[in-house]
A = this chain, B = another copy of it.
Amino acid sequence: MDRQMIIGMHFGNGYGSQPGAWRMPGVDPTGYTSFDNQVRYAQAAERGKFQFLFVPDFPALKGDIETEAPQITIDPMMTLAAVARGTERIGMVATGSTTFNEPYNLARQFKALDLMSHGRAGWNAVPTSDPAIAANYGRDVPRRAEKYQRLHESIQIVQALWGSWEQDAWVHDASSGRFADPAKIRPINLRGQYVGSSGPLPLPPSEQGQPVIFQAGGGDQGMEVAGRYASGVIGAVYTIEDARAQRTALRNAAERAGRDPDEIKFFPGLMTTIAPDRRAGLDRRIAVSGHTFPQRVGYLGQMLGLRLDANWLDEPLSQALLATARPWPQDPRSAHALKIAREGWSLRDVLAHGVIDYHPVIAGPADEAADHMQAWFEAGAADGFWISPDVYEDGIDTFVDGVVPILQERGLFHRDYAGTTLRDHLDAPSQYGLDPRIAD
C-alpha cells in the first residue's frame, strides 16, 4: 500500500477552535469543566480513526475572558487521563513545558498516561516563552539559549528515566515470589546544566515502550530539537510552499542527527467548518465568530495594503479599491486574502473564509477539505494534518462523516487502526530509553 496520511485533532477547551464555539446552539456552555464532553469528543475522533489528539497548553489566562472561553483545557494530563479511560485506540499527545516542570515529574506522568492508555501517549516537549506564564511560576522568562539547553537536558533525562526499568525487568511471577529483577533497574545519574535526576523511575514499559516525542517549536533551535528527538511535529503554516519547506528542513534536521528522515512526521494545521456548501460554511463561521470581525477589519486592511472601515463589512470591496491592493509581504496569508477578496465576497465573507486565522481554513463542503489535504500531502508538504474543528459538538462528526470517507475512498487514509499504540499509528520506530544514535 502507498503512503497514507496521518490525522490528528486539536483538543482544546471543550468547545472547539472558534472563539465563539462555547455559545453556539446545542453546545453545553459549561463544557469548559466537563470531562464527560471531552471524552465524548475524543470518542467522536476515534470513530473517525484519527491517529491522535493533540493538546496544546498555556498555563496562564489569555484572551478576552469576557466573551471567549480560554482556548486551553483546564489541565492537559487530567483531561487525557479521562480520555484514556474512555477510548480504545486513539493516540493522545499533550504539551508539557520543560521550562517550569521537573523532568522527573514529566517522566512520571507521561509514562503513567502511557501505561493507562496501553501505549497511546505522546509528549509535545516545548520551552515556554511567555512572561505571563513565567509570572505564574514566580519567575522571569529565561534567556533563549538557557530555555533550549534545559529542553535538551529535560528530554534526555525523561527518556533515560523511561528506560531506567529495563523492558524485561518486571518479572511479577507470583509462584516464585519474584516481583522484579533489581539488576535490570538502574539509576540514570544524569546531571545537566539546569536539571538533573538520579532515578530510576519505578515504572515498567508500556505497550509501546515509552511515549512518543512531539515538537512544536520554531526557529533553528526548535528544528534541532525536533530533528534529534521528535517523531511528530505540529506546524502552523499557511501555504503549501512554506509547509513543504518546513517539512524538508525537518527531514534534513533528522538526517543531521543521524536518523532516517521518514522517522519524523510533519503535521500542518487545518481548521474546518464542514457544511453542505460554501455559503452554509461561511454562515456558520459568521454565526460562531462573526462578533470578532469588526476588530479584525483593520488588520485585514494591512494585509491587503488598503485602509478598510468596519462599516463596510456587508459590502464587497470595489474593483477600484482592489486594483490598488497589494499583499503585505510580512504576512504569508496576504496573497490568499487578496485572492478571496477579488472573488467578490463581502468583507464579512472574506473574514469568514478565515484569511487571518492561524491555519488554513476550509469553510465549505467535505470534498474541499479532502482536496486541500490531498494536494498538500501529494506535494510533500505534509505527512498528515492536525484538524481544528470549529465547534466540537457537531464539527467533529461532520468531518468524520464527510471528509474521512472521501479520503478513504481515495486511498489516502486508513479505514481502521492497524495497530494499537501511538507508535504504531505514526509508524515510529521502537525506542526505549535514550536513542543510542543521539549522542549529546
Contact = CB atoms under 8 A, between A and B. Distances in A.
Given A66-B179, A78-B81, A173-B29, A198 B109 contact: no
Contact of A22 (B23, B61, B172, B181): B172
Contacts of A109: 75, 77-78
Q: Per DSSP, are chain A's interface residues mostly helix, strand or loop, or mixed? A: mixed
A291 B77 contact: no
B137 A61 contact: no
Contacts of A202: 60-61, 65, 70, 74
Integer count of this chain's copies in the complex: 2
A40 B117 CA distance: 17
Interface of A: 20, 22-24, 27, 29-30, 32-33, 35, 39, 59-61, 65-70, 74-75, 77-79, 81-82, 84-86, 100-102, 104-105, 108-109, 111-113, 115-116, 132, 135-138, 170, 172-175, 177-182, 185, 191, 195-200, 202-204, 291
Contacts of A197: 135-138
B112 A66 contact: no
A187 B199 CA distance: 37
With most chain B CB atoms within 10 A of its CB, the pick from A77, A79, A86, A136 is A136
B66 A172 contact: no
B174 A29 contact: yes
B20 A65 contact: no
Contact of A182 (B65, B104, B196): B65
Given A77-B77, A105-B105, 9 more contacts: A22-B172, A30-B172, A32-B204, A35-B116, A67-B177, A69-B179, A81-B82, A82-B84, A136-B197
